[in-house]
């Protein structure tokens, strides 16, 4: 008898009819002899609705209260799904994160799971019930409700699968697997049968929202077999796995992009030791995460230009801080651009092949797309370009690297 943890995302439980369809799918798995634990998201759009409800009352709601509010989205769907299961004669029980002791740290709105007491879930399973757990939420050691960051239900599912030593964690969503790039942007994107944890982690951290980054990290760390599948169609989906001989020998596995970036520049900073620290120190103190960084010496040889990217939500605050720093340092000018995006190529094949970056730059040049920043690591190359070139850039690269065709060994 296999134990599987299934997660159904927002679109999959977006209407009462879809919840009924999910209930039927779960019953099929159970009838095949599996023990099933189900994690659900809030109905699609609900978390956004709750967020905007909060901001109509105050500009910056207290993170603790925001978590109390946001957690209601998932509490609704666990109850509805359990009712749908029971209505079909399937014994089921719903639990909030706190009820199954999903213990997290106290970082409201972006908490990390520390421990799960799987006892209660295990005894329900032993009694033949389907267990339905609210995704995205936990409880800290003081009993405060916490949430895990957007897309966090994926992480709840993987963490439960690890705690229960499940045979597989299945992420059911509105696409039938992980594609070479977001199929909403490139209709020729191709489903991957398998992708490595390492590549999936890069894809997720470079903007592919099909899986939350922490879910992939967790699955890699605890060796949880993880699969992405469609809620609406049959199929094998995509298995996220360790690298092995049987895998496609592609140079590039996928293209990720991130629309959430913004760029800040300070020009004409006196070039002295400690410049980077003086510019980025106040940014870090304001809890703003910096992604890419470029420093260039100006033609006069005495000053330097410094550019970095941050999350678009932090753009205004970052700009205010940078303006103050620039004044203190005697820099000549501060500028910024919130209409930029990052496009990245990801693939373990890059390790053993030169020339990927140059093909990337050539492809973008042919489309007259200006590259504003570049960064590389062992298995990825990222460029920052103007927002208006996102679709064109992704499609041109997809074609140039022939990602619509499976690689041959
Ligand atoms: P859920 O609500 O089920 O968690 P998400 O919206 O979080 O679903 O994730 C699924 C979406 O991820 C897809 O609809 C797709 O547009 C997007 N996506 C982005 N990159 C990829 C990719 N490489 N492969 C598949 N889907 C992707
Ligand atoms: N409901 C949360 C969100 O919209 C968590 C999730 O769906 O995974 O981000
Ligand atoms: Mg998601």
What ranges make up the beta strands (E) of 216-351?
Answer: 226-230, 238-241, 254-258, 261-270, 290-297, 303-311, 333-337, 340-346
- Level-2 CATH architecture, domain 3-245: 3-Layer(aba) Sandwich (3.40)
Per DSSP bridges, beta strands 238-241 and 290-297 are unpaired
What pTM, to 2 d.p., does this model score? 0.93
Give the C-alpha distances (Å, rounded to integers) separating 372 from 9, 202, 312, 392: 35, 21, 16, 16
Q: Does residue 116 contact residue 163 with C-beta atoms inside 8 Å?
A: yes
For ligand 2, say whether the CB of 152 is within 6 Å of any of its atoms. yes
Task: Judge whether 271 and 304 are in contact, CB under 8 Å.
Answer: yes
| pLDDT confidence tier of residue 146, bands split at 50, 70 and 90 | very high
Q: Where are the domains of the chain?
A: 3-245, 255-400
How many CB atoms neighbour CB 293 within 10 A? 14
Residue nearest to atom 6 of ligand 2 (CA): 151
> Within the chain, how many helices (H) and strands (E) appear?
11, 20
Pick from 134, 156, 151, 130: which is nearest to 71 by CA?
134
Q: Is 185 in the pocket of ligand 1 (CB under 6 A)?
A: no
**For ligand 1, atom 21, which residue shows the shortest CA distance?**
182
Over the chain, what is the mean pLDDT? 95
Query: Using one digit for the tens of pLDDT, what is the confidence trace for 246-276?
Result: 666 678 999 999 999 999 999 999 988 999 9
Low-confidence winner among 173-182, 247-256, 368-377, 381-390 (lowest mean pLDDT):
247-256
According to the model, what pLDDT value does residue 248 have? 61
What is residue 408's predicted lDDT score, i.e. its pLDDT? 58
pLDDT of residue 247: 64
Ligand 1: residue of 158, 210, 228 to mutate (most ligand atoms within 8 A of CB) is 210
Strands (DSSP E) along 300-379, which ranges? 303-311, 333-337, 340-346, 373-377
CATH class of 255-400: alpha beta
């Amino acid at each position: 008898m296999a134990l599987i943890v299934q997660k159904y995302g927002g679109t999959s439980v977006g209407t009462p009819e879809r919840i009924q369809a999910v209930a039927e799918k779960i019953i099929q798995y159970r009838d095949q002899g599996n023990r099933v634990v189900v994690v659900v998201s809030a109905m699609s759009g609900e978390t956004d609705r709750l967020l905007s409800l909060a901001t109509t009352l105050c500009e910056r709601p207290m993170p603790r209260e925001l978590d109390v509010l946001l957690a209601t989205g998932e509490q609704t769907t666990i109850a509805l799904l359990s009712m749908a299961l029971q209505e079909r004669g399937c014994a089921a029980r719903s639990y909030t994160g706190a009820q199954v002791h999903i213990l997290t740290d106290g970082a409201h709105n972006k908490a990390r799971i520390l421990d799960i007491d799987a006892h209660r879930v295990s005894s329900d399973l032993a009694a033949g019930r389907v267990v339905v757990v609210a995704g995205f939420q936990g409880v800290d050691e003081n009993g405060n409700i916490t949430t895990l960051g957007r897309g966090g239900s994926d992480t709840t599912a993987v963490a439960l699968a690890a705690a229960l030593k499940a045979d597989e964690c299945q992420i059911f969503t509105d696409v039938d697997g992980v594609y070479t790039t977001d199929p909403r942007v490139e209709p020729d994107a191709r489903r991957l049968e398998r992708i490595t944890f390492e590549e999936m982690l890069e894809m997720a951290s470079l903007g592919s929202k099909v899986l939350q980054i922490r879910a992939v990290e967790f699955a890699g760390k605890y060796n949880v077999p993880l699969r992405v599948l469609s809620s609406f169609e049959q199929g094998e989906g995509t298995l996220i796995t360790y690298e092995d001989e049987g895998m496609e020998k592609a140079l590039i596995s996928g293209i990720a992009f991130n629309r959430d970036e913004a760029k800040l520049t300070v020009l004409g900073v006196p070039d002295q030791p400690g410049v980077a620290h003086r510019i980025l120190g106040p940014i870090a103190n304001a809890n703003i995460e910096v992604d890419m960084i470029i420093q260039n010496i100006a033609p006069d040889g005495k000053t330097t230009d410094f550019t970095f990217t941050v999350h678009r939500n932090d753009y205004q605050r970052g700009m205010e801080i940078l303006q103050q720093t620039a004044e203190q340092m005697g820099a000549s000018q501060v500028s910024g651009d919130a209409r930029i995006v990052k496009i990245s190529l990801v693939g373990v094949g890059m390790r053993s092949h030169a020339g990927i970056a140059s093909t990337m730059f050539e492809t973008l040049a042919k489309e007259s797309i200006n590259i504003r920043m570049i960064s590389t690591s062992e298995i990825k190359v990222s460029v920052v370009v103007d927002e208006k070139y996102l679709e064109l850039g992704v499609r041109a690269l997809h074609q140039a690297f022939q990602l619509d065709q499976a690689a041959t060994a």
